[in-house]
């Protein structure tokens, strides 16, 4: 390669850092947490737009032009496979497909303008998954010690290819020497709650590969569905693979009969998906959840359970009491299931769950208590640990390792078991200090079913937000963990639970682009991470998403607005915000914002009626379609459920829930808390207000809260179906209005309730709106509230 395109100072910088960087990386996977290169000088800024950011990148001069005539050279079968994958990817994203030459053609093309892919045994010491990428205007070399590293080098090269205004595709000259920080860079996909087709799983695998993620945790069994064919137990999918959704979603509109929601993967489909992932250097880890989250399995084979109650796969969400029983025959069942799973998944690990196993049924069962005495278990948790130990021994005999959620730490645990720490990092700390390997996946930072902005356009999920910055800043190796135990931190994983994710578009919305932040933490040396630099590179990643067909959330790139109004003066002050703090520009004349529109610097005073159109910009380009915010005297008298606050006493579980109907198509979405149905309009201007109109709906109450059930509160009803109560100055203040609720809403699922307010109530007051009565199996939800003037 012609290295004259690199400056002498850049070469020295590269050489100075490489030895330390690659020596650190070479310890993977044995010491992934320590696989960080020497810290680069603070003045070194990212010169190329890649996500995740490489360990070392030295820019050169000029660009390499990529065209259909560009020859691809490959040394050996593994290199030919990677070269073909690279060609297909750039063809899909950039409509340019370079030529993969066979041996005869390649002899004459050593040459000029070629891209060479090569497995170089001499690079084995650089560490697993590491690669070298060298780009000059004359040619490109991608080399690595193994096929995974070569593949990741190809992914970097594909990311660097861009199209200019004339339609030409080129790659900037650069030298990248790169290796991952962590050995486990994972994503968990949940088809048990909502099922994803083989094609959709493939799409997720493609996107993972693009981000250099290497582990797909596949959550195949739960209370709501058993999703993998087990030939010895066909009822697991015949019965356990189907449920009837709650409410109108479970009724066939044309017949009024129950409408099942079904889905499972045949073993042939599993093999297909596992092979597809393996070709992209992604290992699939299946999860067989036990002893809890077992309702679907027990519904199929009741003899596996600890209850006489007839069970069906659940249409509800939450924590269920249904556990597998502790009989030897049930352990044999689990082993038989693993017998069929093990050949399908050639990776090292099999996940055995272990989370949220409420022991009420075991405590109440005389037979379970007898069984505990038989095996010498003093507590129910020790009984669970006995089963875990049995499964670990069985897996070890079949060349596998056991991994489970951090609850398995609560009893004696096999030394060889690996822990997935989800309830914060504390479980991971404890496990590592006890000598267990750990994958960090705390719900506080890496659960992507939590919403990412406060936008009213967010889909159903958990409004307790985990914004991009929080995901990016998560550090998998706790600073308090002793140096001698840090090698036990295998890496990190983002989890996407799908109770509230009914469509694949919503799954993509929740996952992307936050998965890019997870990927950077998993790959990039800690010292190289820089959130501001990540945000500068993110718009280019969005362009790649568009080219490669990856759906992603628009909400982080849209502009949110809030307004404070003076009704008497007919004015308002509008505050604009970009969730990711990109530059905001706006117009007030109805025109589309451009890079030359007014730059937002401070809240904007407007005279009503007014319309603001605002968009976020990076490098002069709008990051999403402009949002229009319209204000007039009427609109400022209304607050939606998203705009209302949660009552201070409403409990900790605020959810963004979807209506149960229509069976197909879009449904209404509500912010509500299931522990205490209450909303608050803070600072409501009641001068001249005669009444409040509340638009309310009713949806199924589809939650199992286990031991959290006593925390649910409701105000006693004073009439047949309860009331809408309105209190001034918070929920502890005076009740200023109360209206009886109907037995059910109207045909459209809603009802408008008008509450007259006393004439003496005026000024700005904090209004508490709450529904009384325990209305389960349904619950009232608030859609919007409007102040009506006298």
Of 415, 433, 431, the closest CA to residue 423 belongs to 431
CB-based contacts of 464, cutoff 8 Å, min separation 6: 450, 451, 654
Of 51, 112, 119, 52, the closest CA to residue 83 belongs to 119
Strand partners of residue 735: 727
The token pair that represents 758 in the structure block:
């006393």
CA gap 641, 671 in Å, rounded = 6
> Apex CA 345: angle with CA 320 and CA 343, to 5°?
110
Backbone angles phi and psi of 62, in degrees to 5: 85, -175
Tell the residue number behind the tokens 């659940």, with chain if given. Answer: 314
> Apex CA 49: angle with CA 47 and CA 55, to 5°?
65
Chain CA centroid to CA 299, Å: 29
Report the b/e string of 172-191 with b at 16+ CB within 10 A: bbbbbbbbbbbbbbbbbbbb
CA gap 186, 214 in Å, rounded = 6
Chain CA centroid to CA 472, Å: 13
CA gap 18, 16 in Å, rounded = 6
Residue 392: its H or E element? helix 380-397
DSSP state, residue 235: H
Burial (Cβ within 10 Å: 0-12, 13-18, ≥19) of residue 585:
buried
Of 267, 198, 245, 191, the closest CA to residue 497 belongs to 191
CA gap 442, 390 in Å, rounded = 27
In 48-122, beta strands by DSSP E: 56-66, 71-75, 99-100, 115-119
Q: Are 595 and 621 in contact (CB under 8 A)?
A: yes
Of 395, 521, 392, the closest CA to residue 446 belongs to 521
Instruction: Provide DSSP, 622-681.
Output: ESSPPEEEEE-TTGGGEEETTTSEEPTTS-S-EEEEE-S--SSS---EEEEESSS-EEEE
Q: Annotated active-site positions, please?
A: 222, 293, 356
CA gap 566, 574 in Å, rounded = 12
The token pair that represents 598 in the structure block:
């007014």
The token pair that represents 658 in the structure block:
């979807």
Chain CA centroid to CA 235, Å: 31
Q: Are 764 and 683 in contact (CB under 8 A)?
A: yes
Pairing mode, strands 750-756 and 418-421:
unpaired
Q: Strand, coil or helix: what is 778?
A: strand
Q: Can the peptide bond before residue 208 be classed as cis, meaning omega within 30 degrees of 0?
A: no
Residue 218: its H or E element? strand 215-219
Instruction: Provide DSSP, 153-187.
Output: HHHHHHHH-EE-TTS-EEEEEEEEEE--S-SEEEE
The token pair that represents 605 in the structure block:
């005073």
CA gap 49, 213 in Å, rounded = 18
């Amino acid at each position: 390669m012609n290295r004259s395109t690199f400056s002498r100072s850049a070469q020295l910088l590269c050489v100075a850092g490489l030895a330390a960087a690659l020596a650190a990386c070479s310890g993977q996977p044995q010491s992934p947490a320590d696989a960080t290169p020497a810290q680069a000088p603070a003045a070194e800024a990212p010169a190329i737009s890649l996500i995740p950011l490489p360990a070392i990148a030295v820019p050169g001069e000029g660009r390499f032009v990529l065209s259909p005539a560009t020859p691809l050279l490959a040394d050996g079968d593994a290199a030919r496979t990677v070269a073909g994958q690279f060609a297909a990817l750039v063809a899909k994203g950039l409509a340019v497909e370079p030529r993969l030459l066979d041996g005869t053609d390649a002899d004459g093309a050593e040459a000029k303008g070629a891209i060479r892919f090569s497995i170089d045994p001499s690079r084995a010491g650089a560490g697993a998954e590491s690669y070298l990428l060298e780009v000059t205007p004359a040619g490109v070399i991608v080399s690595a010690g193994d096929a995974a590293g070569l593949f990741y080098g190809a992914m970097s090269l594909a990311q660097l290819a861009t199209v200019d205004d004339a339609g030409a595709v080129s790659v900037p000259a650069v030298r990248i020497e790169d290796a991952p920080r962590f050995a486990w860079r994972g994503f968990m996909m949940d088809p048990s709650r909502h099922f994803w087709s083989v094609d959709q799983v493939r799409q997720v695998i493609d996107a993972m590969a693009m981000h250099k993620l290497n582990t797909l945790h596949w959550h195949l069994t739960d209370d709501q569905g058993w999703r993998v064919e087990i030939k010895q137990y066909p009822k697991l999918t015949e019965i356990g693979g189907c449920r009837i959704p709650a409410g109108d979603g479970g009724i066939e509109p044309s017949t009024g009969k129950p409408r099942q929601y079904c889905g499972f993967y045949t073993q042939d489909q599993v093999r297909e998906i596992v092979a597809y992932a393996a070709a992209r250097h992604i290992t699939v880890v299946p999860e067989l959840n036990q002893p809890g989250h077992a309702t679907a399995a027990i519904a199929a084979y009741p003899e596996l359970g600890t209850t006489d109650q007839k069970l069906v796969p659940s249409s509800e969400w939450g924590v269920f009491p249904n556990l597998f029983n502790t009989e030897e025959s049930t352990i044999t069942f689990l082993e038989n299931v693993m017998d069929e799973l093990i050949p399908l998944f050639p990776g090292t690990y099999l996940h055995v769950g272990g989370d949220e196993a409420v022991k009420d049924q075991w405590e109440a069962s005389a037979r379970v208590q007898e069984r505990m005495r038989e095996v010498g278990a003093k507590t129910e948790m020790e009984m669970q640990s006995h089963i875990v130990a049995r499964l670990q021994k069985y897996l070890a005999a079949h060349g596998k390792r056991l991994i489970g959620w951090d609850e398995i730490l609560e009893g004696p645990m096999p030394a060889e078991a690996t822990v997935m720490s989800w309830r914060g990092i504390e479980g991971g700390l404890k496990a590592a200090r006890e000598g267990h390997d750990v994958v960090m996946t705390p719900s506080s930072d890496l659960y992507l079913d939590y919403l990412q902005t406060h936008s009213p356009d967010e889909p159903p999920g958990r409004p307790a937000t985990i914004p991009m910055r929080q995901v990016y800043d998560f550090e998998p190796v706790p600073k308090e963990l002793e140096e001698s135990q840090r090698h036990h931190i295998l890496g990190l994983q983002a989890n996407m639970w799908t109770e509230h994710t009914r469509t694949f578009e919503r799954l993509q919305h929740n996952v992307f682009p936050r998965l890019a932040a997870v990927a950077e933490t998993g790959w990039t040396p800690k010292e190289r991470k820089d959130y501001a630099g990540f945000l500068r590179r993110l718009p280019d990643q969005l362009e790649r998403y568009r080219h490669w067909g990856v759906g992603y959330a628009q909400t982080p790139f849209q502009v949110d607005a809030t307004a404070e109004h003076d009704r008497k003066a007919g004015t308002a002050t509008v505050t604009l915000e970009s969730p990711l703090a990109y530059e905001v520009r706006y117009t007030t004349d109805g025109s589309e914002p451009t890079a030359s529109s007014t730059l937002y610097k401070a809240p904007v005073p407007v005279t009503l009626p007014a319309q603001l159109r605002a968009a976020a910009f990076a490098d002069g380009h709008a990051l999403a379609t402009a949002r229009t915010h319209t204000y007039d005297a009427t609109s400022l008298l209304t607050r939606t459920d998203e705009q209302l606050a949660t009552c201070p006493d409403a409990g900790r579980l605020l959810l963004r829930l979807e209506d149960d109907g229509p069976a197909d198509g879009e449904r209404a979405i509500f912010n509500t808390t299931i522990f205490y149905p209450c909303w608050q309009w803070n600072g409501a201007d009641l001068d001249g207000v005669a009444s409040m109109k509340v638009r309310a709906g009713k949806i199924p109450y589809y939650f199992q809260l286990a031991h959290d059930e006593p925390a649910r509160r409701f105000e006693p009803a004073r009439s047949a179906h309860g009331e809408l109560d309105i209190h001034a100055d918070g929920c502890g203040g005076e009740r200023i209005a109360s209206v009886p609720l109907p037995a059910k809403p109207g045909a459209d699922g809603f009802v408008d309730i008008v509450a007259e307010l006393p004439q003496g109530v005026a000024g700005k007051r904090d209004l508490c709106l709450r529904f009384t009565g325990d209305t389960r199996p349904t619950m009232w939800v608030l859609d919007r509230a409007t102040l009506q003037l006298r």
